[in-house]
Amino acid sequence: MESQQAKPAKPAKKDEKISNVRGIRSAFLVILACAVVAVCVFMFVMGDAANFEGNDPVNGHPINLLGTIYKGGFIVPILQTLFLTVIVLSVERWIALSSAQGKGNTSKFVAEIKKLLSENKIDAAMELCKKQRGSVASVVYNTLVKYKEMDANTVLSKEQKLTTLRNEVEEATALEMPALSQNLPIVATLTTLGTLVGLLGTVMGMIKSFQALATSGSPDSTALSTGISEALINTAFGIATGAFAVISYNFYTNKIDNLTYAIDEIGFSIVATFAATH
C-alpha cells in the first residue's frame, strides 16, 4: 500500500467566535415592554384608591407620594417609559461592553500582545487572543491571521503587504463597532426627549393651575393643587430621565473609546512589527 501523504495544516480561520458581544438587537421591544410596565404601575399602583382621600382617585386629594405622582396626569407613564428604557438599555450596554472587554484586563492584554509581537511569537499571540476573547482580541486575532498570510506571500511587495495589514485592522474594527455602539443612539435621543416631554407635562400642569385661578369666585383649591402637582411631577421625571441618559451615554461612549484606542495601539504594533521583521 502506498503511504498516505501528510495533509497540509489548515490555515487559521478568520472571524472565529472570539468576539462574543451580547446585546439586545431590537430596542423597540425594550420600549414596548417598558411602556407596559409603566402603564401598569401608573394605573394599579399609583392609581390605587388607598392613595387618596375618600378612596377617590379622580376627585380625592392624594395622601402619599404615590398618589401625588398619579396626579401628574397621563404624561407620567410616558416619562416612566422613557426612564425605564434608559435604565434597561444602560444595563444592557453594561453587559455588552463587559463581554466586549473579554475575560481579562484590556491594558494587560495589550501589553502582553505587544511583548509577544516584539519576540515575533505570532502563534502565541493568537492563542492569547483565544483565551482573552472580546472585541479587541477578535480584531487582533483576525489581523494576525492576515499577518501570517502576508508572511507566506511571495508575490506582493512589502508596501503592499503593509497596506493589506492596515486595511485588515480597519475592516475588523469596522465589523466590531456596530455591536459596541448598538442602542446608544437611542439613549442619546432620550437625553433630549425626556426633558422635552417633562417640559410638556409642566406646561400642561401650569395651564390647569391658571384655569383654576381663572374661575369666578374663590379658586378651586383641588384643581389648583392638581395642576401644580402635575407640573412639578413631570418636571422631576423629565430632569431625572435626561440626566440619567446623559450620564449613561457619556460613560459608555468613554468605554467604547478606550476599547478603540486599545485596538488602534495593537494594530499599529502589528504593522510596525511586520515592517521591522520583513
pLDDT in tens, 126-150: 999 988 888 889 899 999 999 899 9
Q: What is the C-alpha to C-alpha distance for residues 78 and 83, in angstroms, rounded to an integer?
A: 9
**The predicted structure's pLDDT at residue 7:** 44
pLDDT at 6 over 50: no
Q: CA–CA distance from 173 to each of 19, 81, 143, 164, 240 (Å)?
A: 11, 34, 10, 14, 35
In this prediction, residues 197-201 reach a mean pLDDT of 91
At 11, the pLDDT band (50, 70, 90 cuts) reads very low
**The predicted structure's pLDDT at residue 63:** 86
Q: Record the cell numbers describing residue 158, joined without a space.
A: 512589502
**The predicted structure's pLDDT at residue 5:** 44
Of 227, 229, 230, 186, the residue nearest 84 (C-alpha) = 186
At 14, the pLDDT band (50, 70, 90 cuts) reads low
In this prediction, residues 245-252 reach a mean pLDDT of 96
Q: CA–CA distance from 196 to each of 34, 72, 75, 230 (Å)?
A: 19, 16, 11, 15
pLDDT at 101 over 60: yes
**DSSP state for residue 183 in the 8-state scheme:** T
Q: Record the cell numbers describing residue 142, joined without a space.
A: 483576525
pLDDT digits (tens, 9 = 90+) for 25-81: 788 899 999 999 999 999 999 999 998 888 888 878 888 888 888 888 889 999 999
pLDDT digits (tens, 9 = 90+) for 140-185: 999 999 989 998 888 889 899 899 999 999 998 888 888 888 899 9
